[in-house]
Amino acid sequence: MVNNTQQRSAQPQVGKKAVRHILGISGGKDSAALAIYMRDKIPNIEYFFCDTGEELEETYAFIERLEARLGIKVKRLAATQGFRYFLEKYNDFLPSPQSRWCTVQMKIKPLEEFIGDDEAISYVAIRADEERKGYVATKDNIKVVFPFKEAGITKADVEHILEESGIGMPEYYKWRSRSGCYFCFFQRKIEWVRLAEKHPELFEKAKSFEKVLPDGRRYTWNQDESLEELIARKEKIIAEHEKRMKLQKQRKPNKTLAEVFEGVLDGEGQDEGCVVCHV
């Protein structure tokens, strides 16, 4: 549980200039909980959301719910061009875990333009029970801090904060383990299948970005298959996932279905994803 003792309220200073305090909202549970946690500690905090234009409708709905409940305004930041423009710029090479140009062009650059040359402290929602390092600023005027790590706040604490506030969890956690774009290349196979079921128009749009050329070159979201090939074996993917869910439920019978689902996906050993998008 969260320690309710008075937290250290002093606001760090960078040099002698007035400091901006900023907090990124991803549309995920951790950043939402951090917004709740920090609201009364830093009264002049600025909230922002890097909007790629390729987000789930559930993400927008959750951010609007957060704004209404907390009485805050989350500033939408966007790149000067959309995803398809950058895809053409990168010669149809889709972003991947090895080349995260979407994060650079559509998240980090808009954020650093938003800050400009101002001295700023960025509050990032990496929890105490996570190993991820978090966003590393490329500009000297941005200082990054991790309030949850400093306070020892874990995943269970985050869920408690959200439930206690009345905001709750984002709806997409019922079928997806992460925030971020609907075509996120960190998605597991079952998450692509669920996207096709929940948002068939977005699945088709994600397919439209892929290319398999006659000479054998493949520009696909997954290294081993295209989305068309993936969805053709949908039933097998679902069956394998349900088998893992059943085994996980037997091992941990007191867990909710959402917790079992997340545990199954964590057990697949895929990269945790980009912290700029997913916290």
Q: E-assigned strands of 129-270? A: 142-145, 211-212, 218-219
Same-domain status, 81 and 24 = yes
Task: Give Dmax (Cα) for the chain.
Answer: 64
Same-domain status, 228 and 95 = no
Domain boundary among 139, 172, 205: 172
Over the Cα atoms of the chain, what is R_g? 20
Number of separate domains in the chain? 2
Reported as a single tens digit per residue, the pLDDT across 141-184 is 999 999 999 999 999 999 999 999 999 999 999 899 888 899 99
Same-domain status, 40 and 152 = yes
Confirm whether 161 is domain-assigned. yes
Q: What percent of the chain has pLDDT over 90?
A: 67
Provide the residue range defining the domain that includes 63: 20-172
> How far is it, in rounded angstroms, from Cα 256 to Cα 234?
25
Q: What percent of the chain has pLDDT over 70?
A: 82
CATH classification at residue 85: 3.40.50.620
Reported as a single tens digit per residue, the pLDDT across 231-243 is 999 999 999 988 8
The pTM of this model reads 0.83
Confirm whether 184 is domain-assigned. no
Same-domain status, 196 and 262 = yes
pLDDT confidence band for 10 (50 / 70 / 90): very low
Cβ pair 206, 183 in contact under 8 A: yes
Confirm whether 224 is domain-assigned. yes
Confirm whether 2 is domain-assigned. no
Q: With 0-12 CB in 10 A as exposed, 13-18 as middle and 19+ as buried, what is 104? A: middle
Confirm whether 134 is domain-assigned. yes
Q: What share of the chain is helix, strand, coil (3-state, %, to 5)?
A: 45, 10, 45
Reported as a single tens digit per residue, the pLDDT across 58-108 is 999 999 999 999 999 999 999 999 999 999 999 999 999 889 999 999 999
Q: Which is it for strands 218-219 and 211-212: parallel, antiparallel or unpaired?
A: antiparallel
**pLDDT in the model for residue 7:** 43
**pLDDT in the model for residue 214:** 86
Confirm whether 97 is domain-assigned. yes
Same-domain status, 168 and 193 = no
**pLDDT in the model for residue 126:** 93
> How far is it, in rounded angstroms, from Cα 32 to Cα 27?
7
> Mean of the pLDDT values across residues 21-40?
95
Q: Which is it for strands 46-50 and 74-77: parallel, antiparallel or unpaired?
A: parallel
The residue among 72, 74, 135, 147 whose CA lies nearest residue 109 is 135
Reported as a single tens digit per residue, the pLDDT across 206-251 is 999 999 888 888 999 998 899 999 999 999 999 998 888 888 777 7
> How far is it, in rounded angstroms, from Cα 93 to Cα 97?
12
Listed range (47-51, 107-111, 182-186, 263-267) with the worst mean pLDDT: 263-267
Same-domain status, 26 and 91 = yes
Domain boundary among 138, 172, 206: 172
Cβ pair 228, 207 in contact under 8 A: yes
Query: Kind and range of the H or E element at 198?
Result: helix 189-198
> How far is it, in rounded angstroms, from Cα 145 to Cα 139?
15
Same-domain status, 160 and 53 = yes
The answer, yes or no, to whether residue 269 has pLDDT greater than 60, is no
**pLDDT in the model for residue 275:** 53
**pLDDT in the model for residue 250:** 77
Same-domain status, 27 and 63 = yes
**pLDDT in the model for residue 27:** 94
Query: Kind and range of the H or E element at 75?
Result: strand 74-77
- CB neighbours of 94 closer than 8 A, spacing ≥ 6? 87, 185, 209, 210, 219, 220, 221
- CB neighbours of 149 closer than 8 A, spacing ≥ 6? 126, 127, 128
> Mean of the pLDDT values across residues 11-33?
82
**pLDDT in the model for residue 17:** 67
Same-domain status, 131 and 249 = no
**pLDDT in the model for residue 223:** 86
DSSP 3-state assignment of 212? strand
Confirm whether 143 is domain-assigned. yes
**pLDDT in the model for residue 174:** 87
Q: With 0-12 CB in 10 A as exposed, 13-18 as middle and 19+ as buried, what is 154? A: middle
